[in-house]
Amino acid sequence: MMKNVLNAIAPKRHPQTQRLDERQVPNNAGGFVYTLADEGRLTRFLVLGTEGGTLYAGERAHTVQATEFVRQLVVRDAPLALRVTLDVVRGNRAPKPDPALLVLALIAKTAPNVADRKAAWNALPEVARTGTMLLHFLAFADSLGGWGRLTRRGVANVYETLPVEKLALWAVKYKARDGWAQADALRLSHPKTTDAGRNAVLRFMVKGTLDAEVVSVEAVPSETLTPALRVIEGHLLAAAATSDAEAARLMREFGVPIEAVPTHLRGAETYRAALETNGLTWLLRNLGNLSRVGVLTANNRDVVAQVIGCITDAQALKRGRVHPLDALKARLVYAQGRGVKGKGEWLPVPRVVDALEDAFYTAFGAVQPAGTRHLLALDVSGSMTMGQVGGVPGLTPNMAAAAMSMLALRTEQDAQIMGFSTQFRALGITPKDTLEAAMKKAHSHSFGATDCAQPMLWAAQHRQNVETFVVYTDNETWAGHVHPTQALDQYRQKMGLPARLIVVGLTATRFTIADPNRADMLDVVGFDTAAPSIMSAFARGEV
Ligand code: CA
């Protein structure tokens, strides 16, 4: 009699190494989990890249292997692939453009239906927003086939429709990347234009000089040139400049970006001018250089104030399409006081480091709190310390998880945070921690096997009121006695609460602990800028 009662309330055991239902597949750790539908898996690829972190167009064999799923999807459903890709691009949801460029190249070159291929080419100007991006796209596209009519028209269209001021910046900034040069692309695609100004820029891109009949540097006062041609003229004059100061004067007078000035002239004067002529994305990538050349130092308070004003301006971050991961990367690199590739050293200005932390949160945009009781559970098992997220050197999945959880911790009034491997781990993270402190705390507690059911089991055991479980993980769970979905059900029964589960995936695999058929579970992609709003709406029961 007693035995039966105990059996009735004891949790059912169903090891994660055994299949719960026929839809589950084994993950890399040998546990059984669910798989994402096409849209979710493609979104993970677009936001997080490949499992190794970065895509290099040059490593074609690797790229082909890592993107087998995308290849098959494009054959099966190219319109879906294009729709999801444009959604991610338009929402500035992904930190790196390369995955989107690769998907677009696959659709443009391999979609079975010609209308789908044309749609991809039509979208190229929107997806390849910079000259570098176009050259990356061309490296992908070229590896997938030759220069047929669609390819020539598609590439020519970019050069024919890009605003001519932007075209001039491409002409002086991004001449070649990945073995591809703008000049090659122009020779192969033959763009046509009746606009003399645009034609002069295009001819400069191929020949490296401005036509005498369009502009004679000696004869024509620079004031009479269009802004586009002024940038090119300034670039040509800077090539012959003999001092940093002269180059800086040309940058200001002609609107020349620092990338169009010879490397040996990039000193304090030119960096000061670049603060006026270059944009926010450049600024985030060059804070170390600005400090190294002595422009951004604690003593130069006007410059510090100007830089902080730029990088914490919500509107400027949005206009400049700065992704939160760009800010986080800038924060990690700048605070180190040396370049990623060991180039140069500098003394970081602490207030700028703080401002970069603010920029990380601000770049997500305004997130409406869900107002429900949250348990933020970070997978701190050993696998979360391997690999890098979004191509940021040193950013492991568990550090990325800590950064993402800080956003939720600071947004939600009623949120507690814990770590887990095969058991609960107190991490001691508070909303007032810096990102660096939170990441260190998560990292220093990381080791051991994985049981993603732990947050729900722990909350049930300690009778914690939780309406929203958020599990940050690589979904490589295997070590538990019950599956996470079962643990959620047991928690709901025991506490009589309709708790929901959100899974934040930090790696670009196809695995998830969330059952895609259930309305009380949601899978989102870590560092997808759309994720925080979706999570909030889901926690409120609106989706
Ligand atoms: Ca693990």
**DSSP-assigned states of every residue in 38-107:** HHHHHHHHHHH-STTS---TT-HHHHHHHTHHHHHHHHHHHHHHHHHHHHHHHTT--S-SHHHHHHHHHH
> How many structural domains is the chain composed of?
2
Q: What is the pLDDT of residues 217-239, one digit of tens each?
A: 544 556 678 999 999 999 999 99
Claim to verify: residue 200 and residue 101 sit in the same structural domain: yes
Asked if the structure places residue 160 within a domain, the reply is: yes
Taking the centre of ligand 1 as the mean of its atom positions, its distance from the CA of residue 88, in whole angstroms, is 28
Claim to verify: residue 435 and residue 535 sit in the same structural domain: yes
Task: Tell me the pLDDT band of 392, cut-offs 50, 70 and 90.
Answer: confident
pLDDT exceeds cutoff 80 at 64: no
Query: Which domain-ending residue is among 175, 208, 241?
Result: 208
Taking the centre of ligand 1 as the mean of its atom positions, its distance from the CA of residue 382, in whole angstroms, is 5
Taking the centre of ligand 1 as the mean of its atom positions, its distance from the CA of residue 48, in whole angstroms, is 18
Taking the centre of ligand 1 as the mean of its atom positions, its distance from the CA of residue 421, in whole angstroms, is 7
CATH number for the domain harbouring residue 388 = 3.40.50.410
pLDDT exceeds cutoff 80 at 442: yes
Taking the centre of ligand 1 as the mean of its atom positions, its distance from the CA of residue 449, in whole angstroms, is 6
In this structure, of 86-95, 217-226, 333-342, the range with the lowest mean pLDDT score is 217-226
Residue 54: per-residue pLDDT? 38
Taking the centre of ligand 1 as the mean of its atom positions, its distance from the CA of residue 401, in whole angstroms, is 13
Query: Which domain-ending residue is among 180, 208, 236?
Result: 208
* Alpha-carbon torsion (517, 520, 524, 526), positive or negative: negative
Claim to verify: residue 384 and residue 522 sit in the same structural domain: yes
Claim to verify: residue 398 and residue 528 sit in the same structural domain: yes
Claim to verify: residue 105 and residue 172 sit in the same structural domain: yes
Taking the centre of ligand 1 as the mean of its atom positions, its distance from the CA of residue 118, in whole angstroms, is 43
- What does the mean pLDDT of the chain come to? 91
Asked if the structure places residue 356 within a domain, the reply is: no
Asked if the structure places residue 128 within a domain, the reply is: yes
φ, ψ of residue 470 in degrees (nearest 5) = -120, 115
Taking the centre of ligand 1 as the mean of its atom positions, its distance from the CA of residue 74, in whole angstroms, is 31
Residue 3: per-residue pLDDT? 45
DSSP-based three-state secondary structure for 481: coil
Taking the centre of ligand 1 as the mean of its atom positions, its distance from the CA of residue 439, in whole angstroms, is 17
Taking the centre of ligand 1 as the mean of its atom positions, its distance from the CA of residue 383, in whole angstroms, is 4
Taking residues 345-350, what's their average pLDDT?
A: 96
Taking the centre of ligand 1 as the mean of its atom positions, its distance from the CA of residue 476, in whole angstroms, is 5
The residue segments making up the domain with residue 397 are 21-37+368-539
Asked if the structure places residue 527 within a domain, the reply is: yes
Claim to verify: residue 32 and residue 131 sit in the same structural domain: no
pLDDT exceeds cutoff 60 at 61: no
pLDDT exceeds cutoff 60 at 184: yes
Asked if the structure places residue 201 within a domain, the reply is: yes
Taking residues 60-83, what's their average pLDDT?
A: 81
pLDDT exceeds cutoff 50 at 7: no
Taking the centre of ligand 1 as the mean of its atom positions, its distance from the CA of residue 36, in whole angstroms, is 19
Taking the centre of ligand 1 as the mean of its atom positions, its distance from the CA of residue 22, in whole angstroms, is 23
194 Rama sector, left if φ>0, alpha if ψ -120 to 50, beta otherwise: alpha
Claim to verify: residue 28 and residue 158 sit in the same structural domain: no
Per the CB < 8 A criterion, the answer to whether 52 and 59 are in contact is: no
SS (H, E, C) 368-419: CCCCCCEEEEEECCHHHHCCCCCCCCCCCHHHHHHHHHHHHHHHCCCEEEEE
Taking the centre of ligand 1 as the mean of its atom positions, its distance from the CA of residue 479, in whole angstroms, is 9
Task: Tell me the pLDDT band of 8, cut-offs 50, 70 and 90.
Answer: very low
Q: Cα separation of 31 and 26, whole Å?
A: 5
Q: What is the pLDDT of residues 420-432, one digit of tens each?
A: 999 999 999 999 9
Per the CB < 8 A criterion, the answer to whether 323 and 95 are in contact is: yes
Task: Tell me the pLDDT band of 2, cut-offs 50, 70 and 90.
Answer: very low
Residue 68: per-residue pLDDT? 87
Taking the centre of ligand 1 as the mean of its atom positions, its distance from the CA of residue 327, in whole angstroms, is 27
Q: Cα separation of 38 and 46, whole Å?
A: 12
- 177 vs 252, more confident: 252
Asked if the structure places residue 395 within a domain, the reply is: yes
Residue 175: per-residue pLDDT? 83
Taking residues 50-65, what's their average pLDDT?
A: 45
In this structure, of 300-314, 336-350, 513-527, the range with the lowest mean pLDDT score is 336-350
Asked if the structure places residue 323 within a domain, the reply is: no
Amino acid type, 349? V
Token pair of 83, please? 């729709």
Claim to verify: residue 381 and residue 462 sit in the same structural domain: yes
Q: What percent of the chain has pLDDT over 90?
A: 83
Taking residues 36-41, what's their average pLDDT?
A: 93
Taking the centre of ligand 1 as the mean of its atom positions, its distance from the CA of residue 274, in whole angstroms, is 45
Residue 57: per-residue pLDDT? 38
pLDDT exceeds cutoff 90 at 85: yes
Task: Tell me the pLDDT band of 419, cut-offs 50, 70 and 90.
Answer: very high
Taking the centre of ligand 1 as the mean of its atom positions, its distance from the CA of residue 381, in whole angstroms, is 5
